[in-house]
Homo-oligomer: A and B are copies of this chain.
Amino acid sequence: MGNPFIRRLEGDGPLPGEHRRALEALTARPQAFGPREDVVRGGDELRTANVVMSGWACRYKILPDGRRQIVALFLPGDLCDPYVPLLGAVDRALGTLTAAAVAKVPAQALRALMAEGAGFAEALWGQAHAAVEIQREWAVSVGRRSALERIAHLFCEVAARLAAVGLSDGAECEMPLTQSDLADTLGLSTVHVNRVLQELRASGLIELRNRRLALHDPAALADIAMFDPAYLRRRGS
């Protein structure tokens, strides 16, 4: 299966062998987490960069009155904190959704790699940029798409992102989020998520069972969602 982190970083171009080996070593001993565990609590200092090696995680915020919003989803290979150069930056809570292996890479080590050559720094900028683009597309979803469109869009996005690390063929993938996780991601209620999912199932567009998602007609789904994968790709360098 290889190292998903390296696969992601090399999405834009190969890394020098030494870097690859260094990263391999740095992520060799990930820490195991159960489902629904906090990796970093909100407000914690940040001296280590978290890389999801397997499983799913998310950043979330809980409002004083208990409402929860998941603001980012991290899939295998994702670097949760690309803002490595910033010592002590505070961040939101980071928690697992499924059981997960998370490599805690000392920020210092990444900083050293950055200092060694522009290539690695560029790869980190690339990760950061990708994260914002996803974030912005979520803003579009939650702000302007209907519940049906939102769910369809998220499924398209997740399938595409998983495909980028070899965990999907674009038509089938893991989907371990509970309906209530989905609700907190998309700004909906669980009940409504449930009903919309049934609608999607009834129309034959998707199948979702046992934490696995099948897109029976990806094109039609993308159409409903107004999903344009451009924002997930990086051009050029």
Contacts and interface: CB of A to CB of B under 8 A. Distances in A.
Contacts of A234: 86, 89
A200 interface: no
Interface stretch (A14-22, A49-57, A130-138, A191-199): A130-138
A164 B34 CA distance: 41
A88 B233 CA distance: 12
Given A86-B234, A186-B143, A235-B90, A132 B129 contact: no
A67 B144 contact: yes
Q: How many copies does the complex hold?
A: 2
Interface string A51-75: 0000000010101110111011000
A89 B139 CA distance: 20
A32 interface: no
A69 B137 CA distance: 10
Interface in A114-130: 115, 118, 121-122, 125-126, 128-129
Q: Name the residue in A65, A129, A145, A226 with the highest tally of chain B Cβ atoms < 10 Å from its Cβ.
A: A129
A28 interface: no
A86 B129 contact: yes
Interface in A154-191: 184, 186-187
A143 B154 CA distance: 14
- Interface range, A side: 35 or more
Given A63-B226, A142-B142, A144-B187, A236 B71 contact: no
A88 B237 contact: yes
A140 interface: yes
A83 interface: yes
A112 B117 CA distance: 14
A172 B84 CA distance: 35
Q: Name the residue in A132, A187, A237 with the highest tally of chain B Cβ atoms < 10 Å from its Cβ.
A: A132
Contact of A121 (B85, B92, B236): B85
Contacts of A186: 143
Sort A-B residue pairs by CB-CB distance and give the 10 closest, nearest first.
Answer: A143-B187, A88-B236, A71-B136, A83-B129, A67-B144, A69-B140, A69-B143, A142-B142, A71-B139, A69-B144
